[in-house]
């Protein structure tokens, strides 16, 4: 009886192993008799909105060795170290390593180097083709495109955010071997092809991007700043047409041995770093004022209201707030809202913010997207810095009214300004238009304009656009004016904070503008960080924005509207 029971247990165990473990054990057995050579998929292309190639994958090679098959390790190590610029001892140790069937000697070598290796005819040394990432224009659009690791995985930028679409599926070449890894003379070979990655089409227009980058280079040369940055977007859709920062890095020659330098100049600071926007923020305060007046708020001011106390000074909570000019000879006196924008008069925007109150002002901060990320398809975006509403003092609120005591990203400022002039809609920005199969051309994923919310009414938006057109026609933005075209905008000059305190002589000069003012389409934000000499945005930043507008007009062959 005991024997029957014992045999029953054995049979049950065998049945369990065959049925439950069968496939796994079969795979393990196959692994012992097969060695695989990876066939890496080519990473997908990245192209601009018109299909121009920006990032692609060229044919590169990896060098592998099967130590069991290497006949003359000394000679092979000598030749490989010479061709591949590797240490002889390192290569020799790989070629003589025991207990492994295969080792990688070097990844991502060029076709020319691969041919040199092939000509040596070294036993036990193999070449496998793989993708070698290449960026068509080197340091062009570098902070947006990002880069990949040595194994072809996206690490930053679009390369990282859309990595699962770009990377493809690797294949392999399976070869039958004996237990020590030598190929069987009559063994079979199984080929499993790789599947290349998909094509990612950006909203970026390479021509407009080139215009922006050339202008930034000019600004770096003429102003000698710490950095210069620019965003160009379509205010009607939220599509980013250009996004650039200087200095930048060459994606084909990354300084991987200097991580601090690499991360500093490959980072997309237009959406990862925050700064006090200064007077460019007055667009929000003016918008809130007009919209609240339209909605019947008795604490709001009409467009025709004449602001009193033209001394150019306000005392709030014992702290003095001054205008940039002394208001001598009646300058900036008897101003309405359009005048205040035109003259960029801080005290009037202080009056507006304090009159509306913190609840209303914070409501508009939220409507215009401040205090939260825009949701752009890019990793690392910051949400800006707002003093919590419960902690805001009158002094804080007064300064928020003209763009101090608040820190924003450049992208947030762009989207908020776009909402102020595009009819009142806060749009979600995006960098990728579609993802498609390069073989069939079939679109796998398509992205469309997305409305986040309505910030202000169409009527208020038209008023703001008209006021900002006057700023360019008559006021601080006149250096961005283009004869025959309707350009609107606002300048900004903000003193920088360093280690929690205002830094003497360090400013961020900026200009944000759009055209055509009567029906806005293109928006440009130009930022010059710590220019040497003049610091006013009207002098430092506005002319460069005007140059970008002119070049877009020429590129798009846009006819004058007036």
Q: Give the residue extent of every domain in the chain.
A: 34-202, 206-556
pTM for this entry: 0.84
Residue 174's alpha-carbon distances to 106, 178, 366, 383, in angstroms, are 21, 13, 58, 50
Beta strands in 66-110 (DSSP E): 103-109
Grouped pLDDT means (10 residues each) for the chain, 562 residues: 54 52 48 54 94 92 89 91 92 88 86 90 86 90 94 93 92 56 54 84 98 98 96 98 96 89 94 94 97 97 84 79 68 84 92 96 98 96 95 94 94 98 98 96 96 98 97 93 95 79 82 95 97 90 97 94 63
CB 214 within 8 A of CB 232: no
SS3 labels along 505-540? EEEEEEEEEEECCCCCCEEEEEEEECCCCCCCHHHH
Residue 20 pLDDT? 54
Beta carbons within 8 Å of 198's beta carbon, 6+ residues apart: 44, 165, 166, 168, 435, 436, 437, 438, 444
Residue 428 pLDDT? 98
- Interatomic CA distance for residues 336 and 341, integer angstroms: 9
Residue 500 pLDDT? 64
- Interatomic CA distance for residues 259 and 269, integer angstroms: 17
Residue 25 pLDDT? 42
Q: How far apart are the first and last CA of the chain?
A: 107
- Interatomic CA distance for residues 550 and 558, integer angstroms: 10
Beta carbons within 8 Å of 210's beta carbon, 6+ residues apart: 140
For domain 206-556, give its CATH number from 3.40.920.10, 3.40.710.10, 3.90.76.10, 3.40.50.720. Answer: 3.40.710.10
Beta strands in 34-116 (DSSP E): 34-39, 46-47, 53-65, 103-109
Cis peptide preceding 385, ω within 30 of 0 = no
Domains 34-202 and 206-556 share a fold: no
- Residue 183 DSSP SS3: strand
| Catalytic residue positions, numbered | 279
Beta carbons within 8 Å of 356's beta carbon, 6+ residues apart: 288, 289, 292, 297, 299, 300
To 10 degrees, what angle do helices 282-294 and 410-421 make? Answer: 30
Domain range 34-202, CATH architecture = Alpha-Beta Complex (3.90)
Longest Cα–Cα distance of the chain, Å, equals 119
Instruction: Name the burial class of residue 388, with classes exposed (0-12), middle (13-18) and buried (19+) by CB atoms within 10 angstroms of its CB.
Output: exposed
Question: H or E segment at 542?
Answer: helix 542-556
């Amino acid at each position: 009886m005991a024997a029957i029971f014992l045999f029953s247990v054995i049979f049950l165990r065998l049945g369990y192993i065959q049925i439950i473990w069968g496939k796994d054990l079969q795979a393990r057995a196959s692994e012992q008799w097969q060695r695989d050579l990876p066939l890496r998929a080519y990473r997908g292309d990245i192209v601009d909105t018109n299909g121009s190639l920006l990032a692609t994958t060229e044919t590169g090679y990896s060098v592998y060795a099967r130590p069991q098959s290497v006949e003359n390790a000394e000679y092979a190590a000598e030749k490989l170290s010479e061709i591949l610029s590797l240490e002889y001892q390192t290569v020799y140790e790989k070629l003589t390593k025991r207990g492994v069937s295969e080792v990688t000697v070097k990844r991502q070598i060029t076709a020319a180097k691969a041919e040199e290796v092939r000509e040596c005819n070294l036993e036990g040394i193999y070449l496998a083709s793989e993708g070698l990432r290449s960026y068509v224009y080197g340091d062009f659009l570098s902070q947006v495109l990002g880069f990949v690791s040595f194994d072809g995985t996206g690490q930053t930028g679009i390369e990282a955010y859309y990595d699962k679409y770009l990377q493809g599926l690797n294949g392999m070449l399976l070869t039958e071997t004996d237990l020590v890894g030598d190929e069987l003379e009559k063994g079979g070979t199984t080929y499993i092809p790789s599947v290349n990655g998909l094509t990612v089409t950006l909203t970026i227009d390479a021509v407009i991007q080139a215009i922006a980058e050339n202008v930034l280079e000019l600004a770096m040369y003429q102003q000698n700043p710490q950095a210069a940055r620019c965003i160009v977007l379509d205010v009607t859709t939220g599509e980013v047409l250009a996004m650039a920062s200087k200095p930048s890095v060459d994606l084909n020659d990354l300084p991987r041995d200097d991580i601090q330098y690499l991360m500093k100049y490959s980072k997309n600071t237009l959406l990862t770093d925050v700064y006090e926007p200064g007077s460019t923020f007055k667009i929000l305060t003016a918008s809130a004022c007009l919209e609240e007046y339209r909605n019947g708020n008795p604490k709001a001011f009409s467009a025709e209201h004449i602001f009193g106390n033209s001394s150019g000074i306000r005392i709030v909570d014992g702290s003095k707030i001054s205008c940039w000019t002394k208001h001598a000879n009646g300058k900036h006196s008897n101003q309405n809202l359009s005048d205040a924008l035109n003259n960029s008069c801080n005290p009037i925007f202080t009056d507006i913010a304090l009159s509306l109150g913190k609840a209303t002002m914070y409501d508009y901060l939220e409507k215009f997207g401040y205090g939260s990320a825009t949701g752009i398809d890019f990793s690392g975006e910051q949400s800006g810095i707002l003093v919590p509403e419960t902690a805001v003092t009158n002094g804080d609120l007064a300064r928020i009214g003209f763009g101090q005591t608040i820190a924003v990203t450049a992208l947030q400022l762009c989207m908020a300004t776009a909402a102020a002039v595009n009819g009142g809609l806060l749009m979600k920005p995006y960098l990728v238009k579609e993802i498609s199969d390069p073989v069939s051309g079939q679109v796998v994923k398509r992205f469309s304009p997305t409305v986040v919310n309505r910030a202000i009414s169409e009527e208020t938006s038209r008023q703001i656009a008209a006021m900002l057109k006057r700023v360019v026609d008559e006021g601080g933005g006149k250096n961005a004016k283009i004869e025959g075209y309707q350009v609107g905008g606002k300048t900004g000059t903000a003193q920088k904070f360093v280690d929690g305190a205002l830094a003497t002589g360090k400013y961020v000069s900026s200009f944000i503008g759009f055209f055509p003012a009567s029906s806005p389409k293109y928006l440009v934000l130009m930022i010059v960080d710590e220019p040497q000499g003049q610091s006013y945005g009207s002098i430092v930043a506005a002319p460069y924005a005007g140059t970008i507008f002119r070049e877009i007009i020429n590129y798009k062959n846009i006819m004058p509207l007036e």
